[in-house]
């Protein structure tokens, strides 16, 4: 049985439907990565799984019950979310921001406990921001800030953690730092991780379970990366001609885009070239 799944959900915002009858299951103890082209509904699906967006139809099920039937704090003790757009209030210190992750464990008259302190210190140590505890968040670099937000989500100490594009705005070395950290968390603490990523090669490297969405919020394939990430899938989902070769470092599938062909195929080539550009710009 899986703890978290979406059953036939229809997702969207006022007047715009992003996905219809979408069903996904997040395998327990997996590091699940959701990939797909821009605007295919990845982040929307993640928001629905975290119940910050209510499905128009269908239900998200957590531990056997509709997620909407839980009290908000109860959900937040089982499932954390690192959203893509978060704004730190001006002047807040790193420690205070990370401590906000403890909200679901606190009460009006019990605003701080030893558990809180332990969780906060541990989260900051794991993400390597403990030395920044007294610094203001808005003084930090983009990479540091992203790690602080991650620390906040970790301080929540949930068995399931959802991450919406945790590597955005980071340079390549910081991207690897964050992903290695997530992999370690997954291996050592047995948390279930669900992340939306743009970079297919990183997804293939770190995921134990890959879900590929096609535009319109349709699951094109899901399963172990080695089975899911094929040349056909990339062509099908992204409209990109490519080769898939083994990653020389890890042996996981690696997508290598092809150069546009000359001659009759040039129209197709131009299109895939553009998609490739978009992919790189986002990664």
Partner 1 sequence: MSAPPRPRPAPPVTGRLVRLAGGRVTLRVGPRSVAVGVVSLLVVVVGAVVSLTTGEAPLSLVEVGETLVGQGSRSTEFVVLTLRLPRLLLAIGVGAALAVSGAVLQSLSRNVLGSPDVIGFTTGAATGALVAIVVLGATTLGTSVGALIGGVVTALVVVGLAAGRGTQGLRLVLIGIGVGAMLLAVNSWLITRAALQTAVDAQAWLLGDLSNRGWTQVVALAVALVLLLPIVLAGARRLALLELGDRPAGGLGVDVTRTRNVALLAAVGLAAAATAAAGPIPFLALAAPQIARRLSRSATPVLVPSALLGAAMLVVSDLAVTRLFAPVPLPVGVATGLLGGLYLIALLVRMWRGSTT
The set of residues, in sequence order, having a beta carbon less than 8 Å from that of 278 and lying 6+ positions away, is 37, 38
Query: Shortest gap between Cβ of 77 and partner 1 (angstroms)?
Result: 7
Query: Shortest gap between Cβ of 95 and partner 1 (angstroms)?
Result: 4
Does 13 bind partner 1 (CB under 8 A)? Our answer is: yes
Q: Which two tokens stand for residue 151?
A: 């620390």
Q: How many CB atoms lie within 10 A of CB 128?
A: 13
CB closer to partner 1, 51 vs 209 = 51
* Contact pick of 24, 126, 200, 203 for partner 1 (by CB under 8 A): 126
CB closer to partner 1, 90 vs 264 = 90
Q: Residue 39: left (phi > 0), alpha (psi -120 to 50), or beta?
A: left
CA–CA gap between residue 23 and residue 5 (Å, rounded): 7
**Could you tell me how many residues of this chain bind partner 1 (CB under 8 A)?**
61
Does 261 bind partner 1 (CB under 8 A)? Our answer is: no
Q: How far is CA 238 from CA 176, 203, 218, 230, 278, in A?
A: 24, 15, 13, 12, 10
Are 19 and 45 in contact by the 8 Å Cβ rule? The answer is yes
Query: Shortest gap between Cβ of 136 and partner 1 (angstroms)?
Result: 8
Does 56 bind partner 1 (CB under 8 A)? Our answer is: no
Does 18 bind partner 1 (CB under 8 A)? Our answer is: no
* Contact pick of 20, 27, 29, 96 for partner 1 (by CB under 8 A): 96
Are 213 and 39 in contact by the 8 Å Cβ rule? The answer is no
Are 76 and 104 in contact by the 8 Å Cβ rule? The answer is yes
* Contact pick of 9, 76, 207, 240 for partner 1 (by CB under 8 A): 76
Does 32 bind partner 1 (CB under 8 A)? Our answer is: no
CB closer to partner 1, 115 vs 227 = 115
CA–CA gap between residue 77 and residue 151 (Å, rounded): 15
Binding segment (CB under 8 A) for partner 1, from list 149-157, 165-173, 192-200, 255-263 = 149-157
Angle in degrees, CA 278, 232, 49, rounded to 5: 65
CB closer to partner 1, 81 vs 244 = 81
Does 39 bind partner 1 (CB under 8 A)? Our answer is: no
Does 162 bind partner 1 (CB under 8 A)? Our answer is: yes
Does 271 bind partner 1 (CB under 8 A)? Our answer is: no
The set of residues, in sequence order, having a beta carbon less than 8 Å from that of 262 and lying 6+ positions away, is 269
* Contact pick of 5, 124, 241, 279 for partner 1 (by CB under 8 A): 124
Residue 209 burial (C-beta neighbours within 10 Å; 0-12, 13-18, 19+): buried
* Contact pick of 23, 68, 69, 111 for partner 1 (by CB under 8 A): 111
Q: What are phi and psi of 19, to 5 degrees?
A: -150, 145
Largest CA distance in the chain: 73
Residues that bind partner 1 (CB under 8 A): 13-14, 47, 50-52, 72-77, 80-96, 98-101, 103-104, 106, 108-113, 117-118, 120-122, 124-126, 130, 133-134, 138-139, 152-153, 156, 162, 184, 188
């Amino acid at each position: 049985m899986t703890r978290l799944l979406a059953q036939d959900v229809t997702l969207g915002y006022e007047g715009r439907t992003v996905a219809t009858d979408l069903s996904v299951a997040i395998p327990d103890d997996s590091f699940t990565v959701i990939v797909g082209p821009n605007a295919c509904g990845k982040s929307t699906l993640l928001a629905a799984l975290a119940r910050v967006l209510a499905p128009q139809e269908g239900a998200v099920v957590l531990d056997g019950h509709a997620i909407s039937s839980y009290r908000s704090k109860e959900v937040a003790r089982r499932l954390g979310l690192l959203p893509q757009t978060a704004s730190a209030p001006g002047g807040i210190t790193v420690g205070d921001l990370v401590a906000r992750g403890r909200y679901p464990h606190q009460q009006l008259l019990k605003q701080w406990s030893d558990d809180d302190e332990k969780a906060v210190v541990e989260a900051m140590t794991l993400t390597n921001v403990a030395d920044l505890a007294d610094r203001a968040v808005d003084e930090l670099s983009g990479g540091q800030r992203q790690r602080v937000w991650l620390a906040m989500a970790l301080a929540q100490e949930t068995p399931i953690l959802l991450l919406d594009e945790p590597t955005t705005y980071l340079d390549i070395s910081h991207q690897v730092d964050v992903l290695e950290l997530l992999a370690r968390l997954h291996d050592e603490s047995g948390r279930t991780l669900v992340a939306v990523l743009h970079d297919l090669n990183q997804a293939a490297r770190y995921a134990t379970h890959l879900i590929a969405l096609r535009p319109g919020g349709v699951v094109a394939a899901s399963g172990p990366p080695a089975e899911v990430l094929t040349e056909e899938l990339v062509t099908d989902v992204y409209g990109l001609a490519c080769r898939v070769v083994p990653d020389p470092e890890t042996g996981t599938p690696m997508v290598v885009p092809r150069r546009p062909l000359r001659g009759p195929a040039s129209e197709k080539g131009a299109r895939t070239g553009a998609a490739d550009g978009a992919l790189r710009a986002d990664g």
